[in-house]
Structure 1
Amino acid sequence: MNLLGVWAIYRFEMARFGRTFWTSLVVPVITTSLYFIVFGSAIGSRMTEIGGVPYGAFIVPGLILLSMFTESIGNASFGIYMPKWAGTIYEILSAPISPLETVIAYVGAAATKSVIVGLVIFATAHLFVDLPVAHPFAMFAFLILMAVTFCLFGFLIGIWAQSFEQLQVIPLLVVYPLTFLGGAFYSIKMLPPLWQTVTLFNPVVYLISGFRWTFFGKGDVTMAASIGALALFLGLCLAIVIWMFRTGYRLKS
């Protein structure tokens, strides 16, 4: 493996993050604080607990994942789209570095940024609520796997997109709605039986439920189903990215 090439791309992407370090961290902190004020205070005063968990603490896993989804997709898609837009993608394609090494570098850098943002939001949440973590090692592992998975998803969006507007289409029209409808701020068990069944077709439900289980030891679906859904999504994104590099889809044209 060309470790020097991987490190060069990784360091370049992290340097870009360093130039917008405070903006990248302050915005999620402010957004999280506003969510706590609106959902935690306004709604939490009327709905104090869900499944024995205080409402303010209950929404924390959903808040972390909502921000991480945004950061992961945005960082990874922008990271690979800019070389396409600037025309420097051909330097990467002709360099002595394999497609796998390229993906590891870009996705690794984007995932590092996302995990940092997730941990900052986790720390911010402690300013508002008492937040227990039943399974800390599982929580951290789930956090990393989630970041890698959605960075891969963002990476393929960056390859697919042909304009800056297209970079925003899928996050705004698909990921955001699915996250809000996936139990980020409520338990799907609160829904009528018909809508509970419909909601189970939303893949984000399994991700949020699994992450919430690491905090409170309980979720809307089984942990096995959550891990299976995460593994399936990760494998699918990886397969599509490999296909894109092998065929040169929107990379060599």
Structure 2
Amino acid sequence: MRDQAEITAQPNPPQPRPVGLVNWLGLWTLYKKEVFRFLKVSIQTIAAPVATTLLFMMVFSLAFGAQRGEVHGVPYTAFLLPGLIMMGILNNAFANSSSSLIVAKVQGNTVDFLMPPLSSVELAVAFIGGAVTRGVIVGAVTGLAVIPFVAVPISHIWAIFYFGLGAAIMLSAIGVIAGVWAEKFDHLSVVTNFVIMPLTFLSGTFYSVEVLPEPFLTITHFNPFFYMIDGFRYGFIGVADSQIWIGVLVIGAINGVLLTASYLLLHSGWRLKS
């Protein structure tokens, strides 16, 4: 009788936690993992990009600042800075999501996020959200770091937020797509060196596209990176090389396509489950 009473008195075994429509705890956990992953090596992921931007600013200021004069009514350094900040946002947003996926694939750790009860939407939100966070932090720290050296006006705060956040989302989604597609780090280097860097350098980061002759001026307007940098710079100096509403529509449309593609790739499990 005593044994029966002891068995009866034992607590019930733990039950599975109900997830509900959205697994908020799992989503938050994966997002925190993505953020802490780059914060643990912040000297490499945050301090290094900021130092690189400061070096770019110093070199271009010394080489062209005095001779270049004003661009769109502002000193060349003030014109240059938004492009450099945007370049840091783009590179780091892409690096975070793409490297997270390729490292998991190379080390065989994809099961860590495929086995938990996380939907494809939640996976996409966590990976892209972590990468966006890194891109925004790098952009913000870079802006704060150059305040003592460059006086940059702020004309349209909404444009700074819209194009800065839109650029981070775009490159984070591209990073997810590239991370799923890539089978080794060399594949990511191909995307970085032959897609992202050329589009960034040829989009008006260091110059106004108005100085370009045809057909290069027209070709530049087919570069989505041009609209990100142009719109972001418009938020600071109040002058753009294109119609700002076109940039708003282009960034919104491309992000819609890329976010959908990221979700579909994660949902398919292509090169993740095999």
TM-score, normalized by the shorter chain, greater than 0.5: yes
* Matching residue within 212, 230, 240 for 1:219: 240
Contact 2:200 2:225 in 1 (8 A): yes
Deviation at 1:73, TM superposition (A): 0.6
Equivalent residue, structure 2, for 1:64: 85
Alignment TM-score, normalising by the size of structure 2: 0.88
Contact 2:173 2:258 in 1 (8 A): yes
Is 1:28 aligned to residue 49 of structure 2? yes
The separation in 2 between residues aligned to 1:26 and 1:204, in whole angstroms, is 24
Q: Secondary structure at the match of 1:193?
A: coil
The separation in 2 between residues aligned to 1:118 and 1:151, in whole angstroms, is 14
The separation in 2 between residues aligned to 1:35 and 1:77, in whole angstroms, is 25
* Matching residue within 200, 219, 222 for 2:221: 200
Deviation at 1:108, TM superposition (A): 0.9
Q: Secondary structure at the match of 1:81?
A: helix
* Number of positions where the alignment pairs a residue of Structure 1 with one of Structure 2: 253
Contact 1:75 1:110 in 2 (8 A): yes
Gaps of 5+ in 2: 1-21
Deviation at 1:122, TM superposition (A): 0.9
- The C-alpha deviation readout for 1:88-138, integer Å capped at 9, x for no partner, is 213422221101001111111111111010001111221221111101233
Deviation at 1:243, TM superposition (A): 2.1
Equivalent residue, structure 1, for 2:141: 120
Equivalent residue, structure 2, for 1:80: 101
Q: Secondary structure at the match of 1:162?
A: coil
Equivalent residue, structure 2, for 1:97: 118
Deviation at 1:238, TM superposition (A): 1.2
Gaps of 5+ in 1: none
The separation in 2 between residues aligned to 1:118 and 1:25, in whole angstroms, is 9
* Matching residue within 121, 134, 152 for 2:173: 152
- The C-alpha deviation readout for 1:7-60, integer Å capped at 9, x for no partner, is 111121222122111232221222112111111221111111111121000011
The separation in 2 between residues aligned to 1:233 and 1:89, in whole angstroms, is 28
The percent of aligned pairs where both chains have the same amino acid is 36
Contact 1:125 1:131 in 2 (8 A): no
- The C-alpha deviation readout for 1:196-230, integer Å capped at 9, x for no partner, is 11222222111111111111111111111111111
Contact 1:207 1:229 in 2 (8 A): no
Equivalent residue, structure 1, for 2:193: 172
Is 1:229 aligned to residue 229 of structure 2? no
Q: Secondary structure at the match of 2:215?
A: helix
The separation in 2 between residues aligned to 1:28 and 1:18, in whole angstroms, is 13
Contact 1:178 1:202 in 2 (8 A): yes
CA RMSD, 1 decimal: 1.4
The separation in 2 between residues aligned to 1:212 and 1:14, in whole angstroms, is 27
Q: Measured at CA, do residues 246 and 17 of structure 1 come closer, stay the same or move farther in structure 2, by a change above 3 Å?
A: closer
The separation in 1 between residues aligned to 2:252 and 2:158, in whole angstroms, is 18
